[in-house]
Structure 1
Amino acid sequence: MAPRRPDSPRRSLWQWLGSALLTVSAILGAVAIVTVAVCAVFGLRPVVVISGSMEPTLPVGSLVFYRTVPAADVVKGDIVTVPRQDGGTGLITHRVKEVTTKGDVTTLRLKGDANATPDPLPYVVSSVGSFVGVIPVAGTIALAARTPLGIAAVATYVAALVAVIVFGRRRPAARKRRQAGHLPAE
C-alpha cells in the first residue's frame, strides 16, 4: 500500500460511507442487471422455494430458475415446476417419479425429496418448468424486500445513499481555499 501523500486531504466518515454504499449499490445493480439479462436471453423464470418439501436439494428461501419445456420431454428424476392440482394457487416444484404420455396428454406423478409419499394427485400438463439452477437465500431476500419492513429498509438505504452523495462531497472551491490557507481544515 502506498503511503498517503502529505498534501492529500484525509477522507471523512461521509466519504468512506459514501464509497462503501456506492460500491455495494454498484455490485447489487450489476448482479440484478446480469440476472435479468440472463433470464431474458435464456427464457428462465424465477420462483421462490417456500416449503421444505425439496430439502436438502432446494432449501427454503432459495431462488429456483426454470425453463418452460414440453411435458413430453420430462423424464423420471427431473425436478419440475408445475401449477398446483389441488385447487390451490401457486406452483409446486418437486421431483418426477413417473411420466405417462398418451397422445398429447402427459401425466406426471411428483414427490418432494423430503416427503415420505408422492403427491396425492397426478399432474396433467402440456408443459412444465424444467429446473435449471438455484441460488440459496436469494428468495428470502426477494420476499423480504416485498414486505413493509423490507420496503422501509430499501427506502432507508436509498435515503442514506442520497445523503452521503449530497453531504459527503467536498466542494472543489472550498478545497482550493483550504489549500490556499483561507479556510480551516476539517
Structure 2
Amino acid sequence: MTTPTTRRSLREAAPSPAVRPGTGSTPVRARLRPGRILGDILLWLAAIAGAVCILLVVLAFTAQVTLIMFRTGSMAPTIPAGAVAVVQRVPASEIEVGDVVTVDRDGELPVTHRVTTIAPGAAADERIITMRGDANAADDPFPYPVTSVRTVLFAVPGIALIVAGMGNPVVLGSLTVAATTLVVWAFWPRRSGRSGVDVDGNGP
C-alpha cells in the first residue's frame, strides 16, 4: 500500500537550508569576509556623517547654529588656527565679559575674539563691545557696535581643511559617487557558490 504524499511529509523529506548536502548535519554558516566587514563599517560611518549634516541643517534653521573656521591663531591656544567652531547667534543683551564671540563686519571677514568690555549703545538692543584675541597683547583697534553676535559654543581643532574641502564641487561629486557605490555594493544580493545559500543564511 502506498503512503499518500502530504505537505508535511514533503517538508520532512526536504533537506534543511542550514545543512550542507552530503556532509551530514554540519550547518552552513555565512562567513564574514574582511571586505564585507570594511564595507559595513564605511556604510555606518557614511550614515553617521549624513545624520550629523542633517542635524546641522536643522540647527541652522531652528536655533541659528552654524560653523566658522579659524584661519589665524589670534585666539590661540584656546582656539588654534585650523579649528572649526560651532557658534550660535544671540542678542547683544546676552553678551558677558569673557565670552568668545564672532562679530560680522560689512565688507570684511568676521572677527572672533574674547569680549573685554561692554557698554550701552544708541538703541536699547545695541551694545558697544571691545574685544581681544587670546594671543594678542592689546584690544582690537576699534570697538564694535552690535545688536547680535555669534557666541562660540565649542571648537574642534585641526578640521578646517576637511570642512573647507567639503564645499569643493569635485569633492562633493566624488563623495556622492563613492557613497552611492558603497550603498549599492552593501545591499547587492550575494550567494555562496558552494551551497547556494545567501550570505545572511536564508535560502534562495
TM-score range, shorter chain: 0.7 to 0.9
Equivalent-residue separation in structure 2 for 1:135 and 1:180 (angstroms) = 50
* 1:30-49 matches, cutoff 5 A: 30-49=51-70
Cα RMSD, aligned residues only: 3.0
* 1:85-124 matches, cutoff 5 A: 87-88=107-108, 90-104=109-123, 105-124=126-145
Deviations 1:35-89 (A, max 9, x none): 444454433222222221111111223222222222233222111111136x42x
Matched, 1:72 2:93: yes
Tell me what 2:102 maps to. 81
Equivalent-residue separation in structure 2 for 1:25 and 1:133 (angstroms) = 24
Name the amino acid aligned to 1:100.
A
Alpha-carbon offset, residue 101 of structure 1: 1.2
The number of residues matched between the two structures is: 170
Which of 75, 86, 94 is equivalent to 1:54? 75
Which of 124, 147, 154 is equivalent to 2:175? 154
Name the amino acid aligned to 1:109.
T
Where in structure 1 are there 5+ consecutive unaligned residues?
182-186
Question: Is this contact kept in 2: 1:80–1:96, CA < 8 A?
Answer: yes
Equivalent-residue separation in structure 1 for 2:180 and 2:196 (angstroms) = 34
Alpha-carbon offset, residue 94 of structure 1: 0.5
Matched, 1:19 2:35: no
* Bigger Rg, structure 1 or 2: 2
Where in structure 2 are there 5+ consecutive unaligned residues?
1-25, 198-204
SS of 1:69's equivalent? strand
Equivalent-residue separation in structure 2 for 1:134 and 1:125 (angstroms) = 23
Alpha-carbon offset, residue 18 of structure 1: 2.3
